[in-house]
Amino acid sequence: MSWLNLDLAFALGCALLTSFILWRFMRLTRALRESEERWKFALEGAGDGVWDWNVQLDTVVFSARYKEMVGYTDEDIAANEELWRQRIHPDDRAQVDEDIHAYLQGRTGAYYNEHRVLCRDGSVKWVLARGMIVSRTADGKPLRMIGTHADITGRKNMEERMRHMAHYDLLTELPNRALISERLQQAVIKARRDKTHMAVMFLDLDRFKPVNDNLGHDIGDALLKQVAQRLLVGVRASDTVARIGGDEFVVMLPTIEHERDATVVAEKILHTLNQPFNVAGHEISISGSIGIAVYPEHGEEEKLLLLNADIAMYHAKSDGRNDYRMFAPHMQ
């Protein structure tokens, strides 16, 4: 075989090998692309929006489902991570940053975060963000991260409703017994630390039972709602008015200078309750009996304060009603 034939054979072999390598590369690339597209399709099929973040270039590509979720179009969303960050609710940005950096730095095994996003129409949605690093540089630095955003607004709203129901009275929307107990504990701790005074008032309505008996529970419930509104008008924004059951209410004054401050509030409450109520065309007159206990004179923990305020209230009721009594040791 001549040298010319050898050269031709070698060249032909190289060409065939190059064609095979190119074919193989294109096939692998196509398979990878198809696999990635199937993966993204599966994610979007579950209702999640997909994001693809180039960590080194700090650019992000968002799927159609993500844009639909937040109400933006292709023209609205630039492939810029900082612009994406601006769509996060301001109160949640710091935690999102912390969770992403913790994952990128290897301090956590996965990126997982729940936060609010600002939609184009001005509404706010809750999303569950999850992500993972899919490629790294030769020295191990994150290169690319892919993740999803799932709309969890419905679940968050349900959780908030459940939390509200656990801490607020369903009829009057006032704090209930559980929440007022928490706030009393916190107020006592603060008063003890600051060496200040606070007061608890226990209120029981007078002549409420005849309203239920004669006019029905619907009228009684409507009356309780109006009572709640009047009580709120008579206190400061920092005070708490709670309904702990039936026609019993608790008013907490977290800071007072003197016992007289509490009695002034009690007098104001009694005055507002003495004004006739108009409920579904019925003019109803009621009053209230109030017991007052002051920290630390009448107790140094919330349960004792509430108990002593209750005792003082019964003395106000037994002494003629429509009045208040400050707790005194002899009442026990």
pLDDT in tens, 202-261: 999 999 999 989 999 999 999 999 999 999 988 988 999 999 999 999 999 999 999 999
CA distance 308 to 332: 8
Query: Domain-by-domain residue ranges, the chain?
Result: 32-157, 168-331
32-157 against 168-331: fold identical: no
Q: Which residues of 6-34 are buried (b: 16+ CB within 10 A; e: fewer)?
A: eeeeeeeeeeeeeeeeeeeeeeeeeeeee
Catalytic residue among 7, 247, 261, 323: 247
Six-digit token pair at 167? 């801490």
- Cα-Cα end-to-end distance for the chain: 123
* CATH number for the domain running over 32-157: 3.30.450.20
Q: What is the pLDDT along the chain (332 residues), one digit of tens a residue?
A: 454 454 555 455 555 545 544 545 455 555 455 445 545 544 554 568 888 888 888 888 888 888 888 888 766 666 566 777 888 999 999 999 999 999 999 899 889 999 999 998 989 999 999 999 888 888 888 889 989 899 999 999 999 999 888 999 999 999 999 999 999 999 999 999 999 999 999 999 999 999 989 999 999 999 999 999 999 988 988 999 999 999 999 999 999 999 999 999 999 999 999 999 999 999 999 999 999 999 999 999 999 999 999 999 999 999 989 999 999 988 87
Is residue 247 part of the annotated active site? The answer reads: yes
Q: Are 198 and 252 in contact (CB under 8 A)?
A: yes
pTM: 0.68
The CA-atom distances, in angstroms, between 185 and each of 111, 133, 201 are 37, 46, 15
| Residue 209: how many other CB atoms lie within 10 Å | 12
Phi-psi region of 35 (alpha: psi -120 to 50; beta: other; left: phi over 0): alpha
Out of 3.40.250.10, 3.40.50.300, 3.40.640.10, 3.30.70.270, which CATH number does the structure's domain 168-331 have? 3.30.70.270
Neighbouring residues of 54: CB distance < 8 A, sequence distance ≥ 6: 60, 143, 144
DSSP 127: E
pLDDT tens per residue across span 25-45: 455 555 455 445 545 544 554
CA distance 249 to 228: 9
